[in-house]
Structure 1
Amino acid sequence: MATAKGDLDMEAMETEFLGLQVNPKDCQSQDICISPSQVKNKAGGYVYKTDPETQLIRLIEEGSGEKVVQIIKEFSEKGRAYRQDTVLFALAVCCKSNDSETKCAGDFMKSERKKPNFCTSSLADIVEYLDKVEDAKKSKNLKIIVELILKYKLVREHIPTCFLNEKDVWKALIKHMPMTAMMRNLGKMSSLNLFRTKAEALNEISFEEQIVTNKLKNRELIHKAKIHPYSYLVALSKYRQGMAKNVNLSWPVCPHIADALEEGFYLSFLNITPTKKHFLLALDVTCDTHLPENVCEVDAHHLSALDAAIFMMVQNARTEPFCETILFSNDENISISVNPSESFHDLKRKVREKISNPRSPKSDVSLPFKYALERRKIVDVFVIFTNVDKSLGNVHPTQAMKFYKESSGKKDTRLIVCEMASSIHSVGDIEDHFTLTVSGFDSHVPKLINDFALKII
């Protein structure tokens, strides 16, 4: 059969191109994951997950840009977004779009300005505020910066860095400073001598010190700002240190500020809603549990693993009607009473007295379950604070938990293991839906524990 020259050339090209096998043996089927970045699609095949910005751009390219802007406005106006940062980022992507309709819809402020009734609309105040924020960023004049702060209630993030060492700027900021921002910046304000030191205690109290101390222990403001007690504890411990190594800053400690932080700490427990579950808190007191270097949170280097555990003891004693606390090691359980009115420092002192004697370098994490069984305790939630790499007991903790459930009839008892030292291991069964393993500790952990106890997660 005759063959055209063009067909021969194409055949030669295909032969050359197909020099490699069409289905090489080292290729995997799409139902096998070949990258950590892959996820399963609805058909069961592994594909790559796109980031939110790419997904947003795709919606715009598909012609849904104006609808996206409308949704962004709705989320912002109705307060449906947890933080406004993500809303503003999404809006910025729309404003930078090459699609003219999306770009026009995104820059709705420009179109609103042209409307006859704009000056009397609610948007006018917003636009004026945004304009003043921009003026502050560009300003080189201290007097103008202070005036803008006082008139438009600007916050620290609006102020150019070159003015953040000016005492007058902080005096202006402090008047309308949000609670959490104020707690974060106590060290900075003390470094600028806005508050009295211990040696100056007999001097007249400053206006700024009066504002801060009143706010820190104001029950209504604490409730409104929804400040968690652990945030207060971090702020108090950090402030009393008189220094922050991560930003190379030191300050003189004002006793009245420290006292106000401590008072606010105990008032903030009113922000916690009790679960009304039966808790058993168990603290591992083997030889290295309470070492200061066992840090729990990257932003709280001054707090130890013991501090975090003591905090949970105080929180549950003050908020939960049914809670018991024990200490355990390799061979014994030690019951410890925690009074609801007991202070953090008094309880810490009491625990230290209990663990002052040298103990085994290994711990038996099954002991809390044994304690509950021997005393026929009804426990909804076990919370164990331990160092997983020191766990070596006679009974595996997961088996002890299973035995407790079977013996007590409490099939839905939950276990929360707070691993206070970084590790790649876990004493809790990661496949068990009734077990939660937490590595480290921060202000989100107490709520996580309560949510897990309530079966919200």
Structure 2
Amino acid sequence: MARDPLASVSTIATPQTRRIPGRTDQVRNAAGGYVFAKDTWTRLEDFLVLGTNGGTYYVGEDRLTAENAEVLFRAIAEDGPRVVALLTDVSTARPSRAPKNRPALFALAAAYAKGDADTRQAAKLALSKVARTTDHLATFFGYYKNLGGKATGRGTAPVAGRSLRSALGSWFLTGSPDDVAFKACKAAQRKTPSGEAFSLRDVLRIAHPAADGDQRRTLFGWIAGNVTDGQAREVLPAVDRFLTAKTVTSAAEAVGVVTERRVPWEFLPDAMLTEPSVWDALVDTVGMTALLRNLARMTRIGTLGPMSDATRRAVARLTDADALAKARVHPMDVFLALRVYGSGRAQPNPRAAAHTWQPVPAIRDALEEAYEASFGHIEPTGKRLLVAVDSSGSMSYAGVTAGGSRLGTVYEVACAMAVMLARIERDNLHVIDVDTAVHASKVTPRTNLREIASWRPSGGGTDLSLPFTWAKQRRLEVDGVVVFTDNETWSGRSHPVQALAGYRKSVNPNTRVVVAAMTAGGYSVGAPEDEDVLNVVGLDASLPMIVNGFIRA
């Protein structure tokens, strides 16, 4: 009997290289498989959290950046105030949702440059919340010049209309005068992303904010160079401490102002920040977040070393569970610190030489202990979870970076996220690796994060229907499935949504699914109409809580 080609058409099991019959909302991913396009707002959120640095296995960094920029501009045209609300939420969330604030600053600059009057009004109100430091303000200003500036004979100049001047002025009016003075003293000058000089004095001259009192009037005059140091230090404590720090000419004097006047490290002359004895004093006074971020510096200059007293005191602080909880340090914060410190290399400025250091074992051990302690306040879901980590070849291509340090491949970071969930859920969670077959995962609740650095994905193609068919074959009843992937699935004989439907029909109709995208590719394996499938971003520091809440519901 001749083969009937119509018999190959099925809505139950369709090869992933074809659309599911009747589905017009599927798009082709970069690997050739068909998946569901994320809507504009989900794609925008992915970009704000993940950014586009490094690209993916299939899509280069430049193309991925261009695609996400178009998504941003489309969203601004559709509903600019909503864009501003979303970027503000991502930027200001605690714990942090994004490893970097630059995507949010770029989106805010785009909202100003391309948005309507309502959008610009929303952006004006958001600027001081999103651009919280001088560095942030310089980044925003540089992006805005590129998007909304005008060409001049010497480069690009910003078009500073009334709305932008008002927004820039609000940066100087948000918080007490001494709070603003503190930010100005920490960094009065910075570089834009394009490498151009940026000065608060120049911004103040553009904005012309109206002072709301004598103290702020003095501050503005001091920044502009019209008020003497003596006048400013009489009414602004931050300026007084800053000027005190600037008179320091020796390491001994620097130690004195740190211990006696509690001068923050950012106020000290740059030359003093290369002195081991100065950082020896700062080990006890800097905030917990600053301590985490400066471990590499302190090791590089010799403050932290094997069996040193400074190392002992740093370890004591890092392993203080109460102090970690008070500082609201999240497991992701410690994970990032551990990976950056353990890398032994950072190059935050591509145009400058890289910094290198030899990690101190005691500090790495303390970071691992801090990582474990930071889970103390998180309650497990009490539900049964299956976690599937995409271990295909594409997951080993892109490198995830933070602060100019390489954190690892996408696969490594996905495994680290799986470890976080395993530590929370313990015996109620099982982890598998998936490519074109299911493999045993090395992840356990006791996995040491150092181990993951040596792990390699199994490689090959991608079939994300396998977590559901594997669980169905074993009659493994779970309340939730979490998938870490780049969504470049293509090799399966059925689509993930079809396999999920089969699992629900045969085993547990109430199973919920979280698809955690590890790259901002713009699509998902989850059907958009399925209310029991949640698309999130895998690098989101709040992912464990998101999974907890969604699976509980």
Provide TM-score, normalisation by structure 1: 0.66
The alpha carbon displacement at 1:52 in A equals 4.6
How many residues are treated as equivalent by the alignment?
369
Task: Give 1:169 deviation, angstroms.
Answer: 2.3
Q: Within the alignment, does 1:50 sit opposite 2:120 as a pair? A: yes
Aligned equivalents of 2:355, 2:451: Cα separation in 1? 30
Match runs of 1:22-421 below 5 Å: 37-40=76-79, 47-48=116-117, 49-52=119-122, 54=124, 103-105=211-213, 107=215, 127-137=236-246, 142-197=251-306, 205-246=307-348, 248-289=354-395, 291=396, 293-299=397-403, 300-321=405-426, 322-330=428-436, 332-336=437-441, 339-345=444-450, 361-408=460-507, 410-411=509-510, 413-421=511-519
CA contact (8 A) 2:318 2:324 kept: yes
Name structure 2 gaps, 5 residues minimum.
1-72, 82-114, 127-161, 180-186, 188-202, 219-232
- Structure 1 pair 328/245, CA: closer, same or farther in 2 (3 Å)? same
Go from structure 1 to structure 2 and tell me whether the alpha carbon gap of 1:153 and 1:442 turns closer, same or farther (over 3 Å shift). Answer: farther
CA offset digits 1:153-188 (Å, max 9, x no partner): 233322333332122321222121222211211111
The structure that has the greater radius of gyration is 1
Distance 1:97 1:286 in 2: 52
Conserved? CA contact 1:286–1:362, under 8 Å: yes
TM-score of the aligned structures, taking structure 2 as reference length: 0.55
Q: Is the 8 A contact 2:462 2:489 kept in 1?
A: yes
* Counterpart-to-counterpart distance in 1, 2:272 and 2:303: 16
Question: Counterparts of 1:279 and 1:304 in 2: how far apart (Å)?
Answer: 24
CA distance in structure 1 between the partners assigned to 2:235 and 2:543 by the alignment: 36
Alignment check: 8 A CA contact 1:362 1:390 kept = yes
In the alignment, residue 255 of structure 1 is paired with which amino acid? P
CA 1:449–1:162 in 2, change beyond 3 Å: closer, same or farther? farther
Q: What is the alpha-carbon distance in structure 2 between the residues aligned to residue 405 and residue 309 of structure 1?
A: 26
User: By how many angstroms is 1:211 displaced?
Assistant: 0.7
Q: Distance in 2 between matches of 1:134 and 1:224?
A: 31
Distance 1:432 1:297 in 2: 33
Alpha-carbon contact 2:381-2:425 (below 8 Å) kept:
yes
| Residues 230 and 311 in structure 1, CA contact (< 8 A), matched pair in contact too | no
1:408 Cα offset (Å): 4.6
Structure 2 contact 484–538 (Cα < 8 Å) conserved: no
Kept in 2, the 8 Å contact 1:295–1:421? The answer is: no
| Counterpart residue identity of residue 50, structure 1 | R
Give, as a single letter, the amino acid of the residue that structure 2 aligns with 1:225. Answer: A
Pairwise CA distance, 1:311: 1.9
* Distance (Å, rounded) in 1 between the aligned partners of 2:321 and 2:249: 39
- Where 1:269 maps in the other structure, the secondary structure is coil
* Amino acid paired to 1:38: A
**Looking at both structures, which has the greater relative contact order when contacts are Cα pairs under 8 Å and sequence separation is at least 6?**
2
Question: Is contact 1:137–1:159 with CA below 8 Å preserved after alignment?
Answer: yes
Distance 1:423 1:171 in 2: 45
User: Do the aligned partners of residues 108 and 128 (structure 1) sit closer, same or farther apart at CA in structure 2, a change above 3 Å counting?
Assistant: same
Cα gap change, 1:146 to 1:238, in 2 (>3 Å): same
Render the CA deviation track for 1:47-81: whole Å, top value 9, x for unaligned. Answer: 441155645987x99xxx9xxx8x967xx9xxxxx
The 1:416–1:245 alpha-carbon spacing in structure 2 relative to 1, beyond 3 Å, is same
Q: Deviations over 1:273-331 (max 9, x none)?
A: 32333321012233443x3x43234445232223223223322222115212222222x
Post-superposition shift, 1:407? Answer: 4.4
Name the CA distance, whole Å, in 2 between partners of 1:333 and 1:422. Answer: 25
Looking at structure 2, the residues matched to 304 and 370 of structure 1 have their Cα atoms a distance apart, in angstroms, of 27
Structure-2 change in CA distance of 1:212 and 1:267 (3 Å) = same
Q: Is the 8 A contact 2:340 2:402 kept in 1?
A: no
Output the CA distance in 2 between the equivalents of 1:385 and 1:140: 52
Identical pairs, percent: 27
Structure 2 residue identity aligned to 1:320: E
Q: 2:526 aligns with which of 400, 413, 428?
A: 428
| 1:212 Cα offset (Å) | 0.9
Report deviation, 1:257. Answer: 1.8
**The residue matched to 2:408 in structure 1 has which SS?**
coil
**Deviations 1:374-402 (CA, angstroms, capped at 9, x unpaired):** 33334333111223224331111123334
Write the distance in 2 (CA, Å) between the matches of 1:106 and 1:434: 57
Amino acid at match of 2:333: S
The unaligned stretches of length 5 or more in structure 1 are 1-33, 77-84, 86-92, 111-123, 198-204
Is the contact made by 1:362 and 1:392 (CA closer than 8 Å) also made in structure 2?
A: yes
Tell me if the contact between 2:416 and 2:452 (Cα under 8 Å) persists in the aligned partners: no
Letter paired with 1:103: A
User: Per the alignment, do residues 422 and 134 of structure 1 end up closer, same or farther by CA in structure 2, a change over 3 Å counting?
Assistant: same
- Aligned CA-pair RMSD: 4.4
In structure 2, distance between residues paired with 1:143 and 1:229: 36
Letter in 1 for 2:366: A
Contact 1:276/1:320, CA 8 A, preserved across alignment: yes
Q: Is the 8 A contact 2:400 2:407 kept in 1?
A: no
Distance 1:336 1:186, change over 3 A: closer
